[in-house]
Each structure stands twice: as C-alpha cells, then as structure tokens.
Amino acid sequence: MRIIESVSEMQQQADLWRRESRRIALVPTMGYFHEGHLALMRAIRDHADILVISIFVNPAQFGPGEDFERYPRNLERDLGLARGVGVDAAFVPTTGEIYPEGYQTFVEVKGITQTLCGKSRPNFFRGVTTVVSKLFNIVKPHVAIFGEKDFQQLMTIRRMVGDLNMDIQILGHPTVREADGLAMSSRNAYLTSDQRFKALRLSRSLKEAQDLLDRGERRSDAILSRVREVLAEDGDVRIDYAELRDPHSFEEVPEVTGPTLLALAVFVGVARLIDNCILHLSS
C-alpha cells in the first residue's frame, strides 16, 4: 500500500492509473476506522481497479467549540486496517497541504444543507463539500462511496456532484451497526459505558417509529412524540433534533405517505451522535 502525503504526487499517480485505463475508487474518511469504514472499502473494491482511501480530519467542517482538537486519531492502526482490506493507496495530507496560508475558496450546496445538521452546525456542509471537491480533484476517482449514517451528507454530495457536473459515480452504503444496534461512529469513543448504553435509544427509537407506522400511525407528530419518548432526555441525553423529512427535498412532512427520512441528532455526554432510517409504509 502506497502512503501519499503530497497533492502533486497523488495527482501524478492518479494520472498514471487513468492513462493505464484503471478505474479509481475513493473512500474519503477522517480516520479512526471502525467496521463501517472497512465495509465502505470492501463494498467499493468491486467497482474499481484501484482502491484509494483518504484520511484527513478536516478542520473546515468543525465549528468553534466543536471537537476538532479531540477528534480521535490513530494513523498507524488505520493504515494497518486499510492494508488488511487491500487498499492500494492512502492519501494522508497535512492540514497545511490541504489549506495552505491564504486559502479562500469554498464549495457550497444551498437548499438541502440549511436544515437538520446544517442548522445545528452552520459551516459543516460547506466544509464537507469543499474538502470532498478537493479530494476529488486530487485523487481523480471514477467512483466514491459514503455511508448512509450521514444521510444528509450523502445527499449533499450527490447534489454537488450533479450540480457541478463532476463525472464521478457516488455510492451510498447502509449504516453499519454494532450487534446491539448502535450505529458505528468514531465518536462512540467519547462514550462512557453508561452513556454507551443510553446511546442505544437512537437505534431503538428508529425501530419504534417503523413499528408505529406498521401499526397504522402515519401522523408525523405522533411518530415523533413516540421517538422523543424513547430518546428520553436526561442528564446524559439531549435531543438536538428528531425530524421526519422528505428524503430528497428535506422538507418536513406532516404525514408519512411514502419513503420518509427519520433523522436524529442527540448529544450523549460530550458526543453528538446521529442516526437515521428511511421509514417505509408496509406493503
């Protein structure tokens, strides 16, 4: 596995692969790998000849007071895991390589980024779309993959790629969960064992919402009040949002009449955890 730190070296390598008609896949990550990351790598491997991952904790997507500094990092372990999955190259730039002195350009999707996580974290999506644009220009992939746990991020990237005519296929991958249902996240590392237990309320509330729907309840307010009941705010748990939305426009829906996004963001201790599912009417 090649480890590449410089933008120009990565671009030259990508050019070489492209000249050899090799199809390049990219898995952009912030590192601290869990099974979710590895699942993305395995899933995209069959869509390309060359598998590239990037590891970069992107300061532009963190707000003031957020967890950029303490975001968990373990490069050596990550590289070992990537090697194990058969990654061909890891792009691991420094912050200065990505945002040199005087940096001043941003890529921004408007509309669908103004709500949910975009409302709680005002510069988050701008940071994501900017760095992903850069990674696309650096690694020059034919295909890239993102997890559905970050559903709004996935949809935002699809929107950016479509709107800006980036000639890159974007794959989504189902959320990977622990055996007990907790969505895998690098931020789970922040949880005490007590908090880890309380964090199960997220996935459980998603299930309860689908159960309620299956039993005939379609009113959003009724479903969401059940979700909030399961999430049950207390000293360790604070709901940031719990919303039912159209999964394309991200507009609120008063009633579930088709596939509908149920999206949650909950602070558990210092960890801000998100989870979501698409609710389906029973057939």
Active-site pick, 34, 37, 173, 280:
37
CB of 280 to a second copy, least distance (A): 24
In the block, residue with structure tokens 């979700």: 227
* Footprint (CB under 8 A) of a second copy, residues 158-177: 159-160, 163-167
Told to check if 19 binds a second copy by CB under 8 A, we report yes
Told to check if 7 binds a second copy by CB under 8 A, we report yes
Cβ-contact 43, 173 below 8 angstroms: yes
Told to check if 101 binds a second copy by CB under 8 A, we report no
Cβ-contact 166, 136 below 8 angstroms: yes
Interface with a second copy (CB under 8 A), residue from 3, 77, 80, 106: 106
Segment near a second copy (CB under 8 A); pick from 97-105, 146-154, 217-225, 259-267: 97-105
Output the six-digit token pair for 226.
């059940």
* CA–CA gap between residue 253 and residue 219 (Å, rounded): 9
Query: Residue 77 corresponds to which amino acid?
Result: R
* Strand duo 89-91 + 237-245: pairing: unpaired
* CA–CA gap between residue 163 and residue 108 (Å, rounded): 11
CB of 65 to a second copy, least distance (A): 22
Q: Which residues are near a second copy by CB under 8 A?
A: 7, 11, 15, 18-19, 21, 102-112, 129-130, 133-134, 137-138, 140, 159-160, 163-167
